[in-house]
Amino acid sequence: MKNIPLNERIIFALDFSDPEVAQEWVKRLDRYIKFFKVGLQLFLAGGWSVVEDIIQRGNKVMVDLKFFDIPETVRLAVQQLKGRGITFATIHGNEPIIKAAVSEKEGLKILAVTLLTSFDESDMREMGMTCSIKDFVALRSRKAIDLGCDGVISSALDVPAMRRDLGNNFLIVTPGIRPGLNCDIEHDDQRRIATARQAIINGADYVVIGRPISTSPEPVSAVQSIQEEIADGLAEL
């Protein structure tokens, strides 16, 4: 079992278009959560100042920009992340793209996206894929780890097979997390979902959660409830 503090197991998704709103959420929650995700929406709205503010408050940041471009562009993009105190960065891509990203990581941890949790089998068919999600994720995760990524981003549903086939010496971060049995978030675009407890039992190290906390009438209570789920899951390992 990896030595990850409970208050870092949840990566809170700062999916906001207003940097000031995002910063208020960090101030509201960082007594309880010490890891935050800055994605495309917030990064384009607030840039590096948002990332720097989070880190200066003693928190960790996952910059979730999912770099996917020609290898040299990805290499130079990852280069821009170094030396800024960022913990995780995400990428898409084939072997040359992954190699380019890994070549510049130094103290940064590179996580490869296997398949977005908003995708299901019908989406695979629409993209012309003939393999199953299971086989696709297995191929992508093995390739990422073999090429030097520190971990992957993947649905909790895919994690047991990854742990069985690839072991424990890499990180798994799982989005698509819903608290308890309440998975009915209005206008939700996530399809392959799971609870935090199940994700941890399956072998995930971190869970990414946004709307179940930000739309809760009592966000702190929601955080504490999800942390209890995680603790219960860890106790079963």
Question: What confidence tens digit (pLDDT) does each residue in 200-229 have?
Answer: 999 999 999 999 999 999 999 999 999 999
Range of the domain at 97: 6-235
Residue 233 CA: distances (Å) to CA of 106, 199, 224, 226 = 32, 8, 14, 11
* Within a domain: 1: no
Given this model, what pLDDT does residue 187 score?
Answer: 40
pLDDT tens digits, one per residue of 58-109: 999 999 999 999 999 999 999 999 999 999 999 998 999 999 999 999 999 9
Q: Which comes out higher in pLDDT, residue 144 or 194?
A: 144
Count of domains for the chain: 1
Q: Any alpha helices (H) in the chain, and if so which ranges?
A: 6-9, 19-29, 40-46, 48-56, 71-81, 95-102, 121-126, 133-146, 159-166, 196-202, 211-214, 219-235
* Within a domain: 126: yes
Given this model, what pLDDT does residue 15 score?
Answer: 96
* Within a domain: 159: yes
Catalytic residue numbers, as ranges: 66
- Give yes or no for residue 50 having a pLDDT over 90: yes
* Within a domain: 112: yes
Are 36 and 26 contacting, i.e. CB atoms less than 8 angstroms apart?
Answer: yes
pLDDT tens digits, one per residue of 9-35: 999 999 999 999 999 999 999 999 999
* Within a domain: 169: yes
Q: Which comes out higher in pLDDT, residue 204 or 130?
A: 204
123: CATH: 3.20.20.70
* Within a domain: 115: yes
Reduced DSSP (H G I as helix, E B as strand, rest coil) percent helix, strand, coil of the chain, to 5: 45, 15, 40
Given this model, what pLDDT does residue 185 score?
Answer: 43
